[in-house]
Amino acid sequence: MYSFEITSTKILQKTGILDPCHNFITNKKSLEIRIHNRSNDNIILDPGEEIGILEKLNLKEDTIIQAYDVEKNIHLCTMEMTEAMDKETSDEDKETLEAEKYSKLEIGEMDRKIARMLKRLLKKYEEIFDWDNNSIGYTKLLRHKITVQEGTLPISHRPYRISPLEAEHLQKELEKYTKLGVISPSNSPWAAPVILVKKKNGEYRMVIDYRKLNAVTKKDAYPLPRIDDLLDTLGKAKVFSALDMRAGFHQVPMEEDNHLKFLGYIVTKDGVQTDPEKIKKIIEYPQPKTLKQVRGFLGLASYYRRFIKNFAAIARPLHDQTKTTKQVPWTEKTTDSFETLKKLLTTAPVLTRPDFNKPFILVTDASKAGLGCILTQLDENGHEHPVIFASRGLRSSEINYAPTKLECLAVIWAVKMFRPYLLGKRFTIITDHSALHGLLKSPNPTGIIARWITTLAEYDFEIKYRPGRVNESADFLSRLGY
């Protein structure tokens, strides 16, 4: 019995080459081997040029008989080759893909006979390799078990906000891993947020933030082998190989017992508004008498802060109450803060629902009292409607900033806050400080300004100047006396 394999690079580099049968049984002194060129190009071979190697196989008798049973009708192979020449282009495409697949194999300096044996071995078990990144296997050697510390309650972390652009990439990743069988829909008291990491090529990689779960997981100590011991085991080995799982984290199945089998808002055609049932609890909330009650009220009211223009400033006296462990006397300011918040929540405006097919407008302003911003969009008549209000006071390190630097700070803070709305889409920044545009276009920025400009580099925006007398909303938010 003989085995034939093509070795000519002229032939191997061409697509559309139909290999002959690899194994032949004959008692003749000569053997006719046909190689069909179905490509559109001629292959010119020089006289005496090697095109392949024919080897005699010394197999056991039962193996030869088994092979003869398969190969005894040599005309069957020839007939299959003739029929293949008349097949549709789809077969040619399939063969092209097959050739591309094996062209990915990189075999270094190696004895030719050993290299052929290696290729045959790889082809024999080709189903265990991921050739096109569209498949993924899993190991049956072990299962991953998560053991948490005794008394641990389920941990649920709310998802991080992402932009529509990131949401699109995330959806593709979820669909891909669902199709591959790596993940599946579930209902569980455990939840960890997703983080999208941007690769150098612009694509995104989905990772899960398991830090809170890891904090309550019993640690496993697996001893790593010593390097010197590994070197001693090599002996007289001449061929070195390394096999690894391509996506090990997703290829180790979980233990079966580890598988766990628009809240508070009214959404209408006009927009988003507060839920009367939730607001009723705030209205009926008694005047706080303890630090815990103050925190409870602020937590409840803060859920609707997006509806209140000057929430941060109005709630400041109440927040000051929580900065000490001592009991702070209830003053006229804290009473006004408490009652004003309750009143404003009962008359909160209807906010426009964001339309991600329309551009956003970010209105910002800054003063020595604080920062203010409003995210808006235009309606069909060209009128601005608020999507979200936001404001905050200045930190101690920011109080002495120059006016232009403060205005730049307001832009950076607002852009970071509304990143899920702004990333990936062109938007407009409205400011009442004409010098801001020049600062951000500075040819030689240094220090914190350089870092801010770097932060803004991933956004697509234009800056427009609007005088303070016209920019009243954001200006008002920034001057509330924090």
Q: Could you tell me the pLDDT band of residue 416, with boundaries at 50, 70 and 90?
A: very high
**pLDDT (0 to 100) of residue 368:** 82
The region of weakest confidence among 89-103, 106-120, 175-189 is 89-103
The whole-number average pLDDT for the span 328-346 is 82
329: exposed, middle or buried (Cβ count in 10 Å: 0-12, 13-18, 19+): exposed
Q: Has residue 236 got a pLDDT over 70?
A: no
Q: Has residue 349 got a pLDDT over 50?
A: yes
Name the token pair of 444.
């030689």
The region of weakest confidence among 12-21, 84-93, 125-134, 307-316 is 84-93
The whole-number average pLDDT for the span 306-326 is 79
Collect all residues with Cβ–Cβ distance below 8 Å to 455 and sequence separation of at least 6.
412, 415, 416
List beta partners, residue 195: 207
**pLDDT (0 to 100) of residue 64:** 41
Q: Residues of the chain with pLDDT > 90: what percent?
A: 6
Helix or strand holding residue 334 (H, E): helix 332-346
**pLDDT (0 to 100) of residue 129:** 74
The region of weakest confidence among 22-36, 170-184, 187-201, 439-453 is 22-36
| 238 φ, ψ (degrees, to nearest 5) | -115, -25
The whole-number average pLDDT for the span 393-402 is 88
Q: Could you tell me the pLDDT band of residue 418, with boundaries at 50, 70 and 90?
A: very high
Q: Has residue 134 got a pLDDT over 70?
A: no
**pLDDT (0 to 100) of residue 62:** 40
Cα dist from 107 to 102, 112, 116, 303, whole Å: 11, 10, 10, 61
Of 248, 224, 220, 247, nearest in space to 146 by CA: 220
Q: Could you tell me the pLDDT band of residue 229, with boundaries at 50, 70 and 90?
A: confident
pLDDT in tens, 179-213: 877 777 776 778 889 988 887 777 888 888 888 88
Q: Has residue 47 got a pLDDT over 70?
A: yes
**CA neighbours within 13 Å on the CB side: how many for 262?**
10
The per-residue pLDDT of the chain, averaged, comes to 74
- Give the chain's domains with CATH numbers: 2-128 (no CATH), 133-261 (3.10.10.10), 265-346 (3.30.70.270), 361-478 (3.30.420.10)
Q: Has residue 73 got a pLDDT over 50?
A: no
The region of weakest confidence among 149-158, 404-413, 414-423, 444-453 is 149-158
**pLDDT (0 to 100) of residue 66:** 38
Q: Has residue 361 got a pLDDT over 90?
A: yes
Q: Could you tell me the pLDDT band of residue 422, with boundaries at 50, 70 and 90?
A: very high
For 11-119, where are the E strands, in sequence order?
17-18, 23-24, 36-37, 52-56
pLDDT in tens, 276-314: 766 676 677 788 888 888 887 887 777 677 777 778 888
Under a CB-based contact definition with an 8 Å cutoff, are residues 133 and 188 in contact?
A: no
**pLDDT (0 to 100) of residue 258:** 55
The whole-number average pLDDT for the span 127-148 is 73
- CA 112 vs. chain centroid, Å, equals 43
The whole-number average pLDDT for the span 98-109 is 65
**pLDDT (0 to 100) of residue 480:** 42
The whole-number average pLDDT for the span 30-50 is 77
More confidently predicted of 180 and 98:
180
Q: Could you tell me the pLDDT band of residue 409, with boundaries at 50, 70 and 90?
A: very high
**pLDDT (0 to 100) of residue 459:** 92
Most confident of the following: 217-226, 294-303, 398-407: 398-407
The whole-number average pLDDT for the span 366-391 is 83
Q: Has residue 265 got a pLDDT over 70?
A: no
The strand pair at 426-431 and 460-465 is best described as parallel
More confidently predicted of 156 and 238:
156
Q: Could you tell me the pLDDT band of residue 412, with boundaries at 50, 70 and 90?
A: very high
The whole-number average pLDDT for the span 440-448 is 79
The strand pair at 52-56 and 36-37 is best described as unpaired
